[in-house]
Chain A
Amino acid sequence: MNIASLSKIAIKALGNNKMRCFLTMLGVIIGVGAVIAMLAIGQGSKNSIKAQISEMGSNMIMIMPGGDRRGGVRQSSDDMQTLKPADYEAIVNQSTTIANITPTVSSSGQWVNGNNNYPSQAQGVNTQYLDIRQRKVAQGEMFSESDVKTAAKVCVLGKTLVDNLFPDGTDPLGKVVRFGSIPLTVIGVLDEKGYNTMGQDQDDLALVPYTTVMKRMLAIDYIQGIQASAIDENKTNETIAEITDILRTNHKLRPEQEDNFTIRSMQELAEMISSTSSMMTVLLAAVAGISLLVGGIGIMNIMIVSVTERTREIGLRMSIGATGRDIMTQFLIEAIIISVTGGLLGILLGGIATWMIKIFANWPVQIDPSSVVLSFAVCTVIGVVFGFYPAAKASNLDPIEAIRYE
């Protein structure tokens, strides 16, 4: 007996009970759909994290004042002042593994140009900031080392600030705008970056020499942080160790004293986020997988009912020459047809659900082809595994008893 004829018989048998067949499939459809959608969400968020990291530069290192803040303990204001320009200079002079480095200080305030106001910040950095954050000056130029030395009253504006301060479209270059009470000459305009994957406007940025922010705006002698980029993104841990040594020496910390600064690498941050997101993905997929399993049990349940109901039919088939193997194959094919058709519809449902999540919730999603292949394979296996018991039961029936069954 060939598979083609048995498939024909199986399809016919399923066709005799379309509603039940569909309801049985529904378990698989929902299971597969859920698995696909969950994996798409997981993959999407992982991708977006990756994109964000490469956006920011995966070799980036951030140094913050104060000890490790992961405990969530509130920092005193003394703790926030542990980084000085001298620390920055020590790193510049002593580190061998750093490509670029800038101190960061920022001041919040109102940008003003005539009648136009825009509340934002003045980001105090040095010239290397552009390389670290992979930004460019699109118009005009970046301020120079000597501007930093002299705390020059100059600024480089992002597109959002330009649009808000010069709404009529006049060329901002050479114009004098004010930040609070301090007049600054616009010498450059940053390249346009738009929103990042976190939804932040990367063009809402104004760069000012850090010395200008420290001396003229905030009147402080400490810096709020240091950003650097390692030469080798795979050796950021060594870079962290090196900087830790330099800063501890510079702060004259004894061995038993804890660091009064915190260093984070982008890599570390990325791993943290992506491991949380992987865990979530596994969790979600597991829940979805359970519903797929329940779908499989549904198939088994219905197949057992169907074998009992069709006992006479099985007896008849045997009496006219079907072997146990023929009967077994027929019922297995029925189970596989249910699970595979359910799987296909489930993939469709998963695709639609993913699409809706993307459209309506605006989440980053991505259907990985391997997840489609995987769930399809799982479906077939489920059909075989859960169809096997009922099919074996059918094939072991005694033809005489089966045909007399009422």
Chain B
Amino acid sequence: MAKEIIKIENLKRYFKVGDETVKALRGVSFTIYEGEFVTIMGTSGSGKSTLLNTLGCLDTPTSGEYYLDGIAVKGMGKNERARIRNRKIGFIFQNYNLLPKTTALENVELPLLYNSSVSAKERTERAERCLREVGLGERIYHKSNQMSGGQQQRVAIARALVNNPVIILADEATGNLDTRTSFSILTLFQRLHREGKTIIFVTHNPDLALYSSRNIMLRDGRIVSDEYNHDIKSAEEVYRNLPVDTE
């Protein structure tokens, strides 16, 4: 039996907006094991981001239990959650969120800067290795604003990998990219999955379910389906068959 990375039980998240209560999550439970590539789907407003923020320890649930890598996150203080984010989680955002006017290397080093147990030398070595892993070995000194969207997202992925997280959380990671670039990024995710990384990939695009090992469907803050995919399609193949000039 594989290791439990994430275990949530009856997770609820309500927002108070004026007099009304918006129920973004209405009792979600699942367990994600080491090595899974899970896509979380659902229409806009179904609660995907809220769920991912909670899993990423950015948000705290209104009720329910959450165990990350065997540790109960409930009841943790702000600083403890910051530490968990720093040591156990790799975040990837739709709009990359790189520091402007800053080199790829410095962007990737960033999480390690907030970890005083990593020396400056180790920091640079690890950041360079991760950049090579995402195919940017030649561009480590390029500034973030001199890169294409796909390249920027690769930097963001390298940044999410650099702290050796137990889980990678991606929120609409291909949402801003054209089809061809999307598939190249997806190819990268599939490779990371094959290398044993645990990934949760949030998207509103139902087609992407074919490329992950498991697919959870959300609707109005509830899980409507949770299925394993035994016939994972290769994103790389699709990528190769796409015409080069899509624009």
Q: Which residues of A contact B (CB under 8 A)?
A: 1-2, 5, 8-9, 12, 16, 312-313, 315-326, 399-400, 403
| Residues of B contacting A324 in the complex (Cβ-Cβ under 8 angstroms) | 78-79, 82
- Residues in B neighbouring A320, C-beta threshold 8 A: 85-86, 91, 110-111, 114, 159
How would residues 42 to 70 of chain B score, 1 for a CB under 8 Å from any chain A CB and 0 otherwise? 00000000000100101100000000000
> Is there an interface contact between A325 and B99, defined as CB atoms closer than 8 Å?
no
Taking a contact as CB atoms under 8 Å apart, the answer to whether A9 and B113 are in contact is yes
Residues of B within 8 A of A9 (CB): 113
A400 — which chain B residues lie within 8 A by C-beta?
53, 58-59
The reply to whether B78 and A323 form a contact with Cβ atoms under 8 Å apart is yes
A153 to chain B, nearest CB (A): 91
Question: In the bound complex, what is the Cα–Cα distance between A238 and B87 (angstroms)?
Answer: 81
Q: Does B83 contact A (CB under 8 A)?
A: yes
- A324 CA to B78 CA, complexed, in Å: 8
Separation of A172 and B106 alpha carbons in the complex (Å): 86
What CA separation (Å) do A325 and B78 show in the bound complex? Answer: 10
Asked if B85 and A1 make an inter-chain contact with CB atoms under 8 angstroms apart, the answer reads no
Q: Does B196 contact A (CB under 8 A)?
A: no
Which residues of B are in contact with A by a Cβ distance under 8 Å? Answer: 53, 56, 58-59, 78-79, 82-83, 85-87, 91, 93, 97, 99-102, 106, 110-111, 113-116, 159, 163
- The CA of A317 and the CA of B99, in the complex, are separated in Å by 9
A-B contact pairs, 26 of them (CB 8 A): A1-B114, A1-B115, A5-B114, A5-B116, A8-B113, A9-B113, A12-B102, A16-B101, A315-B97, A316-B93, A316-B97, A316-B99, A318-B58, A319-B56, A320-B85, A320-B91, A320-B159, A321-B83, A321-B115, A323-B79, A323-B114, A324-B78, A325-B79, A326-B82, A326-B114, A403-B93
Q: Which 9 A-B pairs have the closest CB atoms?
A: A321-B86, A323-B82, A320-B111, A316-B97, A321-B114, A321-B85, A5-B113, A323-B79, A16-B101
Q: Are A318 and B82 in contact (CB under 8 A)?
A: yes
Whose C-beta in chain A lies nearest to the C-beta of B160? A320
CA–CA, A316 and B82, complex, Å: 12
Residue numbers in B under 8 Å from A323 (CB-CB): 78-79, 82-83, 114
Q: Report the separation of the CA atoms of residues A326 and B93 in the bound assembly, to the nearest whole angstrom.
A: 22
CB neighbours of A16 from chain B (8 A) = 100-101
How far does the alpha carbon of A315 sit from the alpha carbon of B93 in the complex, in Å? 12
The answer to whether A319 and B58 have CB atoms under 8 Å apart is yes
Closest to B82 in A: A323
Asked if residues A322 and B82 are in contact (CB atoms below 8 Å), the reply is yes
Contact in complex: B85, A319 (CB < 8 Å): yes
A317: which B residues are within 8 A, CB to CB?
110, 114
Cβ distance A12 to chain B, nearest Cβ, rounded Å: 7
Cβ of B228 to closest chain A Cβ, rounded Å? 30
Please name 15 further chain A to chain B contacts, defined as beta carbons within 8 Å, in addition to the given A319-B58, A319-B97, A324-B79, sorted by A numbering.
Answer: A1-B113, A2-B116, A5-B116, A8-B113, A12-B102, A12-B106, A16-B100, A316-B97, A318-B82, A319-B91, A320-B86, A322-B114, A323-B79, A324-B78, A325-B79
Establish whether residues B111 and A321, one from each chain, have CB atoms under 8 Å apart when the complex forms. Answer: yes
Q: Roughly how many angstroms separate A82 CA and B102 CA in the complex, as a whole number?
A: 88
- A1 contacts B58, C-beta separation under 8 Å: no
- Which residues from A are CB-within-8-Å of B59? 400
CA–CA, A194 and B41, complex, Å:
96
| B102 partner residues in chain A, CB cutoff 8 A | 12
Chain B, Cβ-Cβ closest to A1: B114
Q: Which residues of B contact A312 (CB under 8 A)?
A: 97
